[in-house]
Amino acid sequence: MISIIHTIESLSIWVGRAFGWCILILTFSVSYEVFVRYVLNAPTVWAFDMMVQMYGALFLMAGPYALAQDTHVRGDVLYRLLPVKTQATLDFVLYVVFFFPGMLALFWFGAEIAKDSWRYLEVSWNSPARIQIYFFKTLIPLAGFLMIIQGIAEILRCWKAMREGVWLERLEDVRETEDLLAAPDPVADKS
């Protein structure tokens, strides 16, 4: 079970890292547009649409990554005071009742939207550039599918915690600055 959980988490982390590069593209495109618009007085017709698509791709594909890293926002004022088995049971029920139906709807209806978009070779009507958006709409069911897969890993993680009373450690990717500051310094410990 642990190998299945870690394999799914590895996929989510890899996808999150890959789409994390969208922020760099987004930053360069915004900077370019600001420069040509206000310094050269020659705005582009494509930059706004590209920025929207980059941000949308980043937002959609960061979901599985955030779930794998347990970084989604959670109102855990009382939750963190509960025993691990109770936390796991609560999470398990909430995944089954709310998460999976929502993600299945995202996948199902997103697939219909993407299919229609590909059939019409849809372009953006909000822009004079008429940018193709069917590629972008394909990310909607893909994000839903990846969230479902990561949700399965979370259900397995809950099941294991309900049985053993201990949460399985997550694969580490990046750490919050607060965690880095709170961690002991290995160099200082040697002296």
Per-residue confidence band for 1, with pLDDT thresholds at 50, 70 and 90:
confident
Query: How many CB atoms are located within 10 Å of the residue 51 CB?
Result: 16
Question: 89: buried, middle or exposed (CB in 10 Å: 19+, 13-18, 0-12)?
Answer: middle
Using CA atoms, how far apart are residues 150 and 106, in angstroms rounded to an integer? 14
Mean pLDDT of 48-75: 86
Q: Which long-range contacts (CB under 8 A, 24 or more apart) does 123-131 make?
A: 124/49, 126/49, 127/45, 127/46, 127/48, 127/49, 128/45, 129/45, 129/46, 129/49, 131/46, 131/49, 131/50, 131/53
> Could you report the per-residue pLDDT of 25-37, keeping only the tens digit for each?
889 989 999 999 9
Contact by Cβ (8 Å): 16, 59: no
In angstroms, the CA 10 to CA 68 distance is 8
Distance, CA of 152 to CA of 8 (rounded, Å)? 9
Asked which of 60-69, 92-101, 121-130, 145-154 is least confident by mean pLDDT, the reply is 121-130
pTM flag (> 0.75): yes
Of 124-128, 159-163, 181-185, the poorest mean pLDDT is in 181-185
Return the pLDDT at 190: 62
Spatial CA neighbour of 59 closest among 148, 136, 164, 165: 136
Q: What amino acid is encoded at 176 in this protein? A: E
DSSP character at residue 121? T
